[in-house]
Amino acid sequence: MKLIKNLFEPELLKPSRDGFGKALVELGEKSEDFWVLTADVSESTRTHWFAEQFPKMFVQVGVAEQNLAGVAAGIASCGKTVFISAYGVFSPGRNWDQVRVSICYNNVNVNLHASHTGLTVGPDGASHQALEDISITRCLPNMIVMSPCDMEEAKKAAHAAAENILPCYIRTSREKTPVFTTPETPFEIGKANVYRDGKDVAIFAHGVPVYESLKAAEKLKEKGIDAAVIDCHTIKPIDEKTILKYGKQCGLIVTVEEHQVNGGMGSAVAEVVAENNLCPMKIHGVYDKFCESGSAKELLHKYLLDAEGIEKVVEDSMKMKK
């Protein structure tokens, strides 16, 4: 089975949030016990597609993210499957207490979707660039955390969340990015996808940087560095088996994400590496700072999260190998 398309073919560009929105409509068609709520950002989060078709199963709470979480928990306690959707800086950023107590502590079937995450929010600047959302969700008991790499994978993540009884957090982006996986590409919660094998270094990435990492790996090959690229779409539960396999196989791990280096996917991988005394590793992302405004392309380049930057980081990290 071909997992990904040719990286150098003309690309279909779609934001990953589109896949999430399409999945909601598909899920609504299957069950009347499926509800969607948002906080005055239905078009931006693509929940308006669901609202147009299923108005009786849609709730618009307005600019009130704390209420968004609380109302969702109440609906879920009546036996419904619920999705809430907003910008990442506001949900789970603004309503973390309600997510912790009303949703996770009560362990109700509420799934959080955050659009507009990472650097690729671009011109909206630091106030809207959710770069801490993974760290504040993966620490919560009962919470599953996913970060799909493109539109197709986002659709699968939403379906997987709906089928799971635990609370889930799904992170998507606003920027149009290449759709490089296929409808047939496997998706399983807790199981990373290996999109490129290699023996010298294992690059673990999630979200937008997965595609950039694949492009970087092609350039690294020209320099004699054979890089594996792993799509770590589920950050919690992390795929320990794949981390152990590629840590031993390559002797070096580099993690890449448009998130703070503190508490993100890199930290989750590092926990596995440290507990197993596995191999050297480099955690690459945003280094404990608020970022600035600019286009998505400009920001990924500035913070070394495009293919060129990832290539450089991996090259520099090769000296860490034992």
pLDDT in tens, 92-124: 999 999 999 999 999 999 999 999 999 999 899
Q: What is the mean pLDDT of the chain?
A: 96
DSSP letter at 116 equals S
Q: Given its phi and psi angles, is residue 40 left (phi above 0), alpha (psi -120 to 50 degrees) or beta?
A: left
Closest CA to 86 of 125, 27, 131, 40: 40
Tokens of 100: 């912790």
Residues designated catalytic: 65
Q: How far apart are CA 138 and CA 104, in angstroms?
A: 11
Mean pLDDT for 182-204 is: 97
Go through 50-61 and write b for each residue having 16 or more CB atoms within 10 A of its CB, e for each that does not.
bbeebeebbbbb
The domains of the chain, with CATH numbers, are 13-178 (3.40.50.970), 193-320 (3.40.50.920)
Judged against a pLDDT cut of 90, whether residue 9 lies above it is answered with no
**85: which strand partners?**
38, 113
Give the distance, in angstroms, between the CA of residue 282 and the centroid of all CA atoms in the same chain: 19
Q: Provide the pLDDT for residue 35.
A: 98
pLDDT of residue 268: 98
What b/e readout covers 203-242, taking b as 16+ CB neighbours within 10 angstroms? bbbbbbbbbbbbbbbebbeeeebebbbbbbbbbbebbbeb
Give the residue from 207, 210, 174 showing the smallest Cα distance to 307: 210
Q: Which helix (H) or strand (E) holds 257?
A: strand 253-260
Residue 10 pLDDT > 60: no
Q: Who contacts 9 (Cβ-Cβ below 8 Å, separation ≥6)?
A: none
By percentage, how much of the chain surpasses pLDDT 90?
Answer: 95
The pTM (predicted TM-score) of the whole model is: 0.96
Amino acid code (one letter) for 111: N
Confidence of residue 193 (pLDDT cuts 50, 70, 90): very high
Q: Which residues contact 52 (CB under 8 A, 6 or more apart)?
A: none
**pLDDT confidence of residue 2:** 63
CA distance 233 to 239: 10
Place of tokens 């290539």: 311
Check: CB of residue 35 under 8 Å from CB of residue 80: yes
Q: Is the peptide bond before 183 cis (omega within 30 degrees of 0)?
A: no
pLDDT (tens digit per residue) in 278-289 = 999 999 999 999
Q: Given this model, what pLDDT does residue 122 score?
A: 86
Q: Taking the CA atoms of 129, 75, 161 and 33 in sequence, report the sign of the dihedral they define.
A: negative
Question: Above 70 in pLDDT, residue 178?
Answer: yes
Distance in angstroms (rounded) separating the CA atoms of residues 96 and 33: 25
For 248, the enclosing helix (H) or strand (E) is helix 240-250
pLDDT level of residue 194 (50, 70, 90 thresholds): very high
